[in-house]
Amino acid sequence: MAAEPATKALGHEEMTAVIAEGHSFETVTDKISKISLTPTLPRQIILFGLIGLMLMGALMTSVAMLVVKGTGVWGINQPIGWGFAIINFVWWIGIGHAGTLISAILFLFRQEWRTSINRFAESMTIFAVMCAGLFPLLHVGRPWLAYWLFPYPNVMQMWPQFRSPLMWDVFAVSTYFSVSLLFWYTGLIPDLATLRDRAKSKLARIGYGMASMGWRGSARHWQRYEVAYLLLAGLSTPLVISVHSIVSLDFAVSVIPGWHTTIFPPYFVAGAIFSGFAMVLTLAIPVRHLFGLKDLITLNHLNNISKVMLATGLMVLYGYGMEVFFAWYSGNQYEGYMMFKNRMTGPYWWSYWALIFCNGVVPQLLWIKKIRITPLPLFVISIVINIGMWLERFVIVVTSLHRDFLPSSWGMYAPTKWDWGLYLGTIGMFMFLMTLFIKFLPIISQFEVRELLHKKKHANGHHE
């Protein structure tokens, strides 16, 4: 992940290339397929997966303790009825936003630089939403009765309370997950057929063959594929806006100081895209280094992702400024106290100023072009941003709740070891699922890269 020698004197063509020179259809297919079809993985990836597997042990233990003893094992109390569960739920949902944005919106706008990063961004979305879904499911206290949240005819003649934010989350997240999963799997089908045809193991041929659903690459197959993919991209696009807007309304519909504001939906959406792209960089930079994919995930990709992060980071910073402005301009004593006395100088002051540093100060480094195209500082910045976005959710939840309208209701929040076990366990689950994805599925879309090569060759021939 060190600085690449080519960054010293980069020409315009190198900086705008979405695939390096010298590749053909065969070399691209060989390079990407080899990652999935080779029996071994780099030691770093194996270590990554093993750490994830160990952390999943903490997840299972924490869930078992929760089911046996109830939510009292968490640090939640009165007045802080929402703790790590909601903080981590919103954080994971935010991380899942970049996959849909890169795949669907950039596809509709025909942005070629999406091609080499869309596949693992989509996978990241699927796994992040799976992690997110655990928290509200467990937070209700009786997860085995979660089916009560769905509207179905029952003998009790009872329907879910559709005015409850919990219901909004159920429908928003399940819709988002379903469409994202279909979109991800549809895009995989041609590449699964390529792996089926190249696999040497009979078991692998059967597995990839079943997964590729009889794909033969005929004109009829491609025509149906393109129609289905375009429709799914069109369905996915509004979900980027709607899902995190609905999550933000969990807070905004209340009368809690710091939550009851109309800026929350766009503010949350910008923050979600911000953290999602940061996670894409966190994953893409080590992957391109370990598998030698610098010719497919080029400096142009890093530069464009950095620009999106800078733009959305400025939107988030604007949101922070508006929160301060609303607290002052409204003249509401509770809003003013929450912002100026509690968040900035109260018991949790450190979390507020840490998030301002992580999400407001550090991303300003992305104005510098050299940093935008140098992997190591980009990797560090992406991790800092993800920490900052977690702190943002911590500040929103805890500092608004721990001092209620009545001083007699004030309290402090401290997560327990079971809170941390569940949170770190979902990180482990994410790591382990990403490792399985890297091992068994193509991490870059082979046929889309080949399509880019075809366009490039056609354009060069036409130019000549």
pLDDT in tens, 122-172: 999 999 999 999 999 998 888 888 888 888 887 877 888 888 888 899 999
| Any domain includes 448 | no
Domain enclosing residue 225, as ranges: 5-20+43-143+168-185+202-438
| Any domain includes 450 | no
Tally of domains within the chain: 1
Neighbours of 432 (CB within 10 A): 20
Annotate 84-112 with DSSP letters as a single string.
Answer: HHHHHHHHHHHHTHHHHIIIIIHHHTT-G
| Any domain includes 152 | no
How far apart, in whole angstroms, are the C-alpha atoms of residue 114 and residue 123? 14
Q: Assess whether pLDDT exceeds 50 at residue 8.
A: no
Which pTM does this prediction carry? 0.91
Q: Assess whether pLDDT exceeds 90 at residue 308.
A: yes
Contacts of 382 (CB under 8 A, 6+ apart): 278, 279, 281, 282, 285, 309
| Any domain includes 151 | no
| Any domain includes 455 | no
Q: Assess whether pLDDT exceeds 60 at residue 3.
A: no
Q: Summarize the confidence of residues 166-180 as an average pLDDT.
A: 90
Mean confidence (pLDDT) of the chain: 89
Per-residue pLDDT tens over the stretch 316-337: 999 999 999 999 999 999 999 9
Q: Summarize the confidence of residues 407-435 as an average pLDDT.
A: 94
Per-residue pLDDT tens over the stretch 242-271: 888 999 999 999 989 889 888 999 999 999
| Any domain includes 268 | yes
- Pinpoint the alpha helices (H) of 253-398: 264-290, 299-329, 333-336, 349-356, 369-372, 375-394
Give the pLDDT score at 322: 93
How many helices and strands (H and E) does the chain possess?
19, 0
Residue pair 404/256 in contact by the 8 Å Cβ criterion: no
Contacts of 179 (CB under 8 A, 6+ apart): 232, 235, 236, 239
Q: Assess whether pLDDT exceeds 80 at residue 7.
A: no
Give the pLDDT score at 6: 46
| Any domain includes 403 | yes
3-state secondary structure 186-215: HHHHHHHHHHHHHCCCHHHHHHHHHHCCCC
* Cis-peptide into 79, omega within 30 deg: yes
| Any domain includes 113 | yes
